[in-house]
Amino acid sequence: MREALEIPSGDIQVVARVVQLLRLLAEAETLDVVSAAQALGVGKSTAHRYLASMENHGLLQRRDRNRYEFGPLLAELGTMALSRLGVVNLARPVMEQISLQVRHTVVLSIWNGWAPVVVHVHEDSSRTARVSIRTGSVLRPSTAQYCVFRAFQKESFYRFTTGPGEIGQDDLELENVRRTGVAIRSTAAEGVRAVAVPVRDANGYVVAAMAVVGVTQLVPEEEDSDVALALREGAEAIHQALCAAAEKAR
């Protein structure tokens, strides 16, 4: 068994070490040169070269001067993986229907380890004043989508790299989101309001946040509004479609 686990070539050893560091990061939330060197059984200079190379290729990014966290490439890979699982594809027609129904832009986001990333947008074109969001945008802690992911952190498909104290929402707000299943956030400076709900996979884990985003005066802020109801029904439709796809794949 020991011989079977030995790594025969330098190239394969590099891959094995990178995977080892990513697994360590998933457990520890951040990584530094000392912990990387200890995990790999190498010197600090060698560990630093691994971390620097992983940062250059987008696998890692710096949280501060000495610590690293998951990088943007992993978010891209996660997006592709979710696309293959059907989340994005199944969400597209549902998002289009919601947008037509409420006459606002609808946005789907996934979690990249520290923030939501927009993976699909169905932009409303029925109003003169509307909000436009670019696919690939990383959303701030002030957004409704961020609040959804944090509120359902314990039921999430993803790992989280920051603690509840760093998120910009208090416990009462998060409890209300868990109770109602809806997060509502307004940005006075930008004149934008978003209403967001969680999207669950076939196993019940939260894999995405779906939101209606529009001009503050035009998006209702009530948790039982037509917009909130359309989002809840849409999220349930995506969940049922994912359940059907999972059952078909068995």
Domain spans in the chain, listed from the N-terminal domain onward: 2-70, 76-249
What average pLDDT does this structure show over 36-64? 92
What average pLDDT does this structure show over 114-124? 88
Which of residues 87 and 100 earns the better pLDDT score? Answer: 100
83 pLDDT exceeds 60? no
- Closest Cα to residue 72, out of 125, 14, 138, 10? 138
CATH assignment, 76-249:
3.30.450.40
193 pLDDT exceeds 50? yes
Calpha distance 200→232 (Å, rounded): 11
Question: Taking all residues of the chain, what is their mean pLDDT, rounded to a whole number?
Answer: 85
Q: Which fold has domain 2-70?
A: Arc Repressor Mutant, subunit A (1.10.10)
- Banded pLDDT at 232 (limits 50, 70, 90): very high
Which range is least confidently modeled, 194-198, 204-208, 244-248?
244-248
Same fold for the domain at 2-70 and the one at 76-249? no
| pLDDT for position 162 | 55
Edge to edge, the sheet with strand 105-111 lists: 116-122, 105-111, 206-215, 192-200, 183-187
What average pLDDT does this structure show over 18-23? 89
3-state SS, the chain, equals: CHHHHCCCCHHHHHHHHHHHHHHHHHHHCCECHHHHHHHHCCCHHHHHHHHHHHHHCCCEEECCCCCEEECHHHHHHHHHHHHHHCHHHHHHHHHHHHHHHHCCEEEEEEECCCCEEEEEEECCCCCCCCCCCCCCCECCCCCHHHHHHHHCHHHECCCCCCCHHHCCCCHHHHHHHHHHCCEEEEECCCCEEEEEEEEECCCCCEEEEEEEEEEHHHCCCCCCCHHHHHHHHHHHHHHHHHHHHHHHHC
| pLDDT for position 5 | 42
225 pLDDT exceeds 80? yes
109 pLDDT exceeds 70? yes
Which of residues 5 and 115 earns the better pLDDT score? Answer: 115
Which of residues 163 and 225 earns the better pLDDT score? Answer: 225
